[in-house]
Amino acid sequence: MRLFYAVFLPEEVRAALVEAQTKVRPFRGWKPVPPHQLHLTLLFLGERPEEELPDYLALGHRLARLEAPFRARLRGTGYFPNEGTPRVWFAKAEAEGFLRLAEGLRAGVEELLGEEAVRIPGWDKPFKPHITLARRKAPAPRVPPVLFGLEWPVEGFALVRSELKPKGPVYTVLEKFSLRG
Ligand code: 2AM
């Protein structure tokens, strides 16, 4: 199972992001993320054996009991990579809480998998909280930046399954964890 932990977004944040996505819609090379799939990844686990699922559920519940809800801010848009040909257009999000959650999940997964954790794709990359707005599939220009002035309350996160299909990934929320710290 391909798995990741993520924060999904309230309707008003999604609406602002969907509005921003109109900037890339004229260019066929940009594939916007469907509105219901917009999310902020806290930790990508990659392909994991199904028997590990209870461990990832338990980790989510344990962390959610420790961490309190918090407010997050949506900043401007940016590109990965920033230099050269962009692959991803994203909206930057800011909150100490995202860093705490990402760090807590990472520590928990390290405890579960030990040395094997380093084999998770992207494990060595620093956590940069962002919401992918569009992926570049074919030549398409960069678009001017969009600035957001939005804040929203983050009250939980989820363990998500990703299935890679020809038309794009299909995400299924396996479990939601409410922050109760
Ligand atoms: P992205 O939006 O920046 O591509 C499901 O694939 C989610 O996990 C996506 O939000 C993706 O981030 C994130 N992710 C993080 N590292 C990844 C990796 N090495 N491969 C695929 N997805 C990754």
Per-residue model confidence as pLDDT tens digits over 90-148 = 999 999 999 999 999 999 999 999 999 999 999 999 999 999 999 999 999 999 999 99
Residue pair 159/56 in contact (Cβ under 8 Å)? The answer is yes
44 CA from centroid of ligand 1 (Å) = 6
Average pLDDT of the residues in 6-23? 98
What is the number of residues in the chain? 181
From the CA atom positions of the chain, what is the Rg in Å?
16
How high is the pLDDT of residue 157? 99
CATH, domain range 2-178: 3.90.1140.10
Whether the CB of 88 sits within 6 Å of ligand 1: yes
Q: Which tokens belong to 107?
A: 């520590």
Q: What does the block give as tokens for 126?
A: 């620093």
Neighbouring CB atoms inside 10 A of 20's CB total 23
Give residue 149 CA to ligand 1 midpoint distance, Å: 25
Q: What is the mean pLDDT of residues 17-42?
A: 97
Omega prior to 81 cis, within 30 of 0: yes
- Whole-angstrom distance, CA of residue 41 vs CA of residue 3: 11
Question: What residue segments make up the domains of the chain, in order of their start?
Answer: 2-178
Catalytic annotation on 61?
no
